Amino acid sequence: MKKQPLCVAVAIISFASIGCSDPTPEAAVESFFEATKAGNEDKAKKHVTENMLASWDQDYESNQQLHENHEVTMKVIDTAEISDDTARVKVEWAYSDEGGSGTSIITFRVRKTDGNWLVDEAGVSFLDEFPEAEKDSQGKTPYDYAERYYTAINEEDFPTLRKLHADSYAEHVIRNAPGGEKDKSDDERFAYGMNQRMHKSKDLIPRPDASGFLRNNAEGVFSVAYKLIPTDEYARKREREILERHGVKTPFDEINTALSFKMVDGVWKITNKFGM
């Protein structure tokens, strides 16, 4: 029995290896699509990052089933630049077979590596699913900085995390470091404080209904909310910590999370919902 195109499409494609030259985000997605459509696995691998290497076999098989069962074409609908080296490309897939035709909307995350744009993940959210946010003096919105924040969390890039925070809120994190950390530098105490509250993620599912200028936020505070799916390694670590601290064995498969932002000197900065 044939798989439904939309189900297959959403599951498709996050692959890995570095190779071909794609000068734009759109070119990376188009090159990747054409290679997979042609069944050229080696060429497809050259248009993607190393991020999803572990899922290559499963995802490539699903992708090939889609092309084997349907005639598929693709066109780019929109592109959102998240940062200098990250973008999201929304495409429409039109598919047809003897049973009829239809379309699916898919968004790819692409990243620039060594000057080339490569496909990093498929089936992510596009920014227009969230409430609209004003751009700051850098041309960025809270969504742009949220993307940087979660990337920095996964990479344990504490200098970037501190720059993303409002000074007043970073000082709050530093002040609340445990007593045993008081003799260390502010940077070390900030890193320790962040380690206590951060969650490493393998997926972020948008929660538009919990985003925006919320009623419980201080005036001018904008929230960006996700359902966070932790990495397997991080989930097991948190489960062990919960068991040790509370004697309870609880699965740590997902968590609702949100970042709050306020404008500081014309730039969106991370704060809490009270605008600290």
Specify if 136 maps to a domain: no
Report yes or no: 130 and 224 within 8 Å, Cβ to Cβ. yes
> What does the DSSP 8-state code read for residue 18?
B
pLDDT of residue 59: 64
**CATH code of the domain in which 210 resides:** 3.10.450
Mean pLDDT (whole number) for 214-227:
89
Report if pTM > 0.85. Answer: no
Range of the domain at 105: 5-126
Which amino acid is located at 146 in the chain?
Answer: A
91 in a structural domain? yes
The verdict on 12 and 113 lying in the same domain is yes
- Is 226 in contact with 207 (CB distance < 8 Å)? yes
The number of distinct structural domains making up the chain is 2
User: In the β-sheet with 100-113, what is the strand arrangement from edge to edge?
Assistant: 71-83, 86-97, 100-113, 116-122
Are residues 108 and 167 located together in one domain of the fold? no
Q: CATH number, domain at 107?
A: 3.10.450.50
**Residue 39 resides in a domain:** yes
| Residue 154 neighbours by CB distance under 10 Å | 15
Is there a single domain that holds both residue 153 and residue 266?
Answer: yes
Q: Are residues 147 and 267 in the same domain?
A: yes
Identify which has the larger pLDDT, 249 or 110: 110
CB atoms within 10 A of CB 226: 22
Specify whether 267 is located in the same domain as 203.
Answer: yes
CA distance 19 to 222: 39
Q: Which residue has the higher pLDDT, 216 or 51?
A: 216
- In this structure, of 140-154, 168-182, 224-238, the range with the lowest mean pLDDT score is 168-182
116, 227: one domain: no
Whole-number Å distance between alpha carbons of 124 and 3: 21
Say whether pLDDT at 266 is over 70: yes
d(CA 25, CA 114): 14
